Structure formats: C-alpha cells, structure tokens
Amino acid sequence: MAGRVDAKLAELGIELPPPPAPIASYVGFNVVDYTADFGRRAGLVVISGQIPLVAGKLACTGKVGGAISLEQAQQAARLCFINLLAQLKAACDGDLDKVKRVVRLGGFIAAGAEFTQHALVMNGASDLAVAVFGDAGKHARTTIGVPSLPADAPVEVEGMFEIG
Amino acid sequence: MAGRVDAKLAELGIELPPPPAPIASYVGFNVVDYTADFGRRAGLVVISGQIPLVAGKLACTGKVGGAISLEQAQQAARLCFINLLAQLKAACDGDLDKVKRVVRLGGFIAAGAEFTQHALVMNGASDLAVAVFGDAGKHARTTIGVPSLPADAPVEVEGMFEIG
Amino acid sequence: MAGRVDAKLAELGIELPPPPAPIASYVGFNVVDYTADFGRRAGLVVISGQIPLVAGKLACTGKVGGAISLEQAQQAARLCFINLLAQLKAACDGDLDKVKRVVRLGGFIAAGAEFTQHALVMNGASDLAVAVFGDAGKHARTTIGVPSLPADAPVEVEGMFEIG
C-alpha cells in the first residue's frame, strides 16, 4: 500500500526514478542518526548535489539566461528536487512518510555576472518541496550563482532532511 | 529586561530588524531539535542565506572590486550577519541568550575571476559574530567567490547555530 | 602507539601538518555534541573550507583549465583533504580512530564558464577519503565551479564528519 507522500507524488504525476548509483568514492546520501527531543530516534539525511538527470542523461545543458531560459531553468530545478526525492526515498528505506521536515536546500545556478533571477529559478525546487510535503516542506534556503557546474548542468540542488 | 546578548547589541549600537517574512515556499530558518551531551535539549538552527537588506531594500548592489569597494563589501557582510541575528532571535523565541555557539558561517562574495580578498570581506560578518557572542562566536567558515547573487547583491551569508 | 587510521596514513606516505592556527574571528572547526542512537555520545565536526596550503603557503594558484591542469587540480583537492584531516585530528583530540564517518564534502573549483570536469577534480579529495577510512569514508558530496577563491587558490574543500 502506497504511503501518504507516495499518493501525493502520484497525484502530481511524478514517478521517482531509481536513485543514481554511487559513482567512484562518493555516495548519494549519508544519514546521521541522533536522538531528537523526548528520546525520539531521528536521522539527519545529507544528500549530494543533484543535477537535472533524467534516465542518466542531463535534460538540458548550458547557462541560465544564455542557452537556458528562465522557464527551462525552473524545470531543471524541479528535476533536481525529484532526484533529491529519489535519494531521500532510499535513505528512508522506501517509506517517504518518515520525512519530518525539509531542513535546507542549497541551489546553484550556472549563469553570468549580470544574472539576477536566482530566486525565481530555485522556486522550481522549493515549490515542489511544499507541494509534496506541505508545511513540512518549508525549508531554509541558500541560492547563489556559479560560472559552471559538473557536465555543464544549468542547475544543481543539494538538500538536508529530517527523518524519524 | 533585556538579556546579555541584547545588552551587547545595544552597546554596539545595533538594532535588530524584524526578520524578513517568508517569501514563497521557503522560510528564514529551521530548527533541528536534538538531545545534546548529558541529556541536555538543544537545537541546530539552519538559517537561509541573507543578503544586505535594510528595511526591505538592498543597501548596495554590484560586484566587489567593481562598483563595490572592499570597505563597502565588509559593511555589506556585517549587514548580512545582522539579518542572520534577526532570524536567530526569532528561532530563539526572542531570547538570544539561548545561543550556545555560532557553528558555521558560509560567505559568498560576488566578484570577478581576479578577486582574491574574500577573507577580508567576510571578516565584516565574522568580527561581528565575535563582538556579539565572544568565544561562542568563533565559527567554522567557508568563503568563496561567485559571479552573481540574487537581486545583484554583492555579498550573501548563511549560518548554522547551536541553541539550548 | 599509533592508531589504525594513523597507520593507514603512514602506509599512504601522508604526514599530517599541524592544523592551521585560527585566523582572526574564525576557527578551523567546531564540534556539535549530540546523543546518537542507543544513547551513544557523538559529535558532528564542521570544518572550515581548506585551501591547498603546504607549510603555510599555497602549493599552486590560478584557475583550473587555465594555469592549473586537471592533474594539478586533483593534487590540490587531495591537499585540501589532508588539511581537513589535520583539523579533524585536532577535533578528535589526536585520535583519528574516533572518526565514524565522512558525512559530506563540499568542493569548490575555480574555473571559467566553459569548465565541465569538476567531478574529476574533486575525486582527488574523495578518493583519499576512501583510501584513509574505507567504507566509512564514503560521503555525500556537492561540487561546483566558482570564479575565484581566497588568495587565488584553485580548489577549496569543506567537510562534515561524525565522530564518537
């Protein structure tokens, strides 16, 4: 039986991919286990920066404000968050209902010196976080511009989540 | 009655603004509640990247080493830390004496490829952290250059704090 | 008597430098003490961004893909991780066998807009993490390009570690 979050994903028409396999010496995520308030066991999930891969290929490449339009960049940020969700699901042993909070998202926008719409791009990830998790999806956020990203990705998003 | 940290802020002539209201799908901060050593309850406060807003407007815009001088950039970093303090005060339910440690600051300096004085700029935030909190203000720090920041801000600073 | 990790470092021919002394208002690391699962005491070590300093001087300066070749950049990333280890050893009161996991590494590669090989550069740090700590060295990772770094360093790496 699908959980509450799985049902919401289905409602949004989102099918999570298998999380990208570990490449070389790093992994998709690590979980720091800790005792939360009132003795509750919890985990802080730290997830690697995700790029807009679809079935192992980048959905688009290039710079935002250049080859990539604002709308394409927002879609790319949304894809990054879907890949974060795929990693998060693995960190939860398949049960996304264990997610207590999206603690923080970090957004990296590949763009030139003159670009100013970083926040609008990153909303592609942030809005999906809230669509999926409701109030628990409201997160702290840092968004910056960068000259380049791995494999010429236009956007990269990393995340920190509380599960328990 | 004002607390110890509030008294120090008054001595420094710093009046904290109200924390900027949540925009869209993200919030100013999240608190991860945990059990510290010896059963003490504590919280890890993760605060969104802050830009040098004063009363809702950027104090300055442009690139450090270009339109923005070193001195202006240091002042901008100081303003970012004041905005972090405003968020932190809200995370402490108004009582900044709950702050145990400034764990980490991340600094982002909008500048060109030839810029090298990132550390001096970031000291505008770091020196205020120690002026306000003393030894508890000594933090781990990562400072990098970026080509651009949201709304053409010259500096952005994010922070992680321990409260309890 | 040297510990297990010290023995591995000796086997790899790596001598850890003394950790760089605190400069101004920031420190090399902070430790957040917490109660892990089953009442175990643990610490989350947050380490400042490290540049490829050797005996207080940068091993190389300039941009990756420009003055700095891919191979030099990988060596620089490796040196950054050695400096992280020096800080980590101080955080462990000298006993690196207390390290439970390399939780996360963040890598910053100074390069132009056309650069795409960030992941290969960062492997210089990641591969050493696994060579030193084995499976416990497998970490979450975020790698991005930046236009410039403090003191014209080509690479900067920050880290988060679990000790206990």
Q: Which of B148, B152, B155, B163 to mutate to test the interface with A (most CBs of A within 10 A)?
A: B148
Residue B43: pLDDT over 60: yes
Instruction: Name the average pLDDT for chain C.
Output: 95
How far apart CA B130 and CA B52 sit, in angstroms, is 19
Contacts of residue C104 in chain A, CB cutoff 8 Å? Answer: 30, 46
The confidence score (pLDDT) of residue C23 equals 65
Residue A22: pLDDT over 80: no
How far apart CA C77 and CA C107 sit, in angstroms, is 8
Residue B1: pLDDT over 70: no
- Residue of chain B nearest A34, judged by CA positions: B34
How far apart CA B11 and CA C28 sit, in angstroms, is 29
Contacts of residue C46 in chain B, CB cutoff 8 Å? Answer: 103-104, 140, 160
Convert the pLDDT of each residue in C123-155 to its tens digit: 999 999 999 999 999 999 999 999 999 999 999
Picking from A107, A86, A103, A79, the residue whose alpha carbon sits closest to that of residue A163 is A103
Listed by start position, the domains of chain B span 4-163
Comparing CB atoms, the residue among A112, A150, A158 nearest residue C119 is A150
The confidence score (pLDDT) of residue C105 equals 98
Convert the pLDDT of each residue in B54-85 to its tens digit: 999 999 999 999 999 999 999 999 999 999 99
Is B160 in Cβ contact with C49 (below 8 Å)? no
Comparing CB atoms, the residue among A103, A117, A119 nearest residue B30 is A103
How far apart CA A146 and CA B147 sit, in angstroms, is 6
Beta bridge partners of C44: C32, C162
Structure tokens at C98: 């207390």
Measured in angstroms, the CA of C153 and the nearest CA of chain B are apart by: 9
Give A141's pLDDT tier (boundaries 50, 70, 90). very high
Give C14's pLDDT tier (boundaries 50, 70, 90). very high
Q: How many CB atoms lie within 10 A of CB A137?
A: 21
Is A25 in Cβ contact with C130 (below 8 Å)? yes
Convert the pLDDT of each residue in C39-50 to its tens digit: 899 999 999 999
Identify the architecture of domain A4-163 in CATH. Answer: 2-Layer Sandwich (3.30)
Q: What ipTM was reported for this prediction?
A: 0.96
How far apart CA C24 and CA C37 sit, in angstroms, is 37
How far apart CA B12 and CA A164 sit, in angstroms, is 42
Is B113 in Cβ contact with C147 (below 8 Å)? yes
Is B115 in Cβ contact with C147 (below 8 Å)? yes
Give A37's pLDDT tier (boundaries 50, 70, 90). confident
Contacts of residue B138 in chain C, CB cutoff 8 Å? Answer: 22, 25-27, 30
Convert the pLDDT of each residue in A78-123 to its tens digit: 999 999 999 999 999 999 999 999 999 999 999 999 999 999 999 9
Residue C22: pLDDT over 70: no
Asked if A162 contacts A42 with a C-beta cutoff of 8 angstroms, the reply is yes
Contacts of residue B129 in chain C, CB cutoff 8 Å? Answer: 25
Measured in angstroms, the CA of A142 and the nearest CA of chain B are apart by: 5
How far apart CA B143 and CA B159 sit, in angstroms, is 12
Burial status of residue A6 (CB atoms within 10 A of its CB: 0-12, 13-18, 19 or more): middle
Task: Provide the 8-state DSSP code for B139.
Answer: B
Q: What angle, 0 to 180 degrees and rounded to 10, lies between the N-to-C axes of helices C70-91 and C118-133? A: 40
Residue with tokens 């000298």: C94
How far apart CA C48 and CA C30 sit, in angstroms, is 9
The confidence score (pLDDT) of residue A25 equals 84
Q: Which chains touch B (3 or more CB pairs under 8 A)?
A: A, C
Contacts of residue B150 in chain A, CB cutoff 8 Å? Answer: 116-119, 143-144
Structure tokens at B65: 């080493």
How far apart CA B110 and CA B61 sit, in angstroms, is 10
Q: Which chain C residues touch B if contact means CB-CB below 8 Å?
A: 22-30, 32-35, 41, 46-49, 63, 106, 108, 110, 112, 146-152, 156, 158
Q: Is C126 helix (H, G, I), strand (E, B) or coil?
A: helix
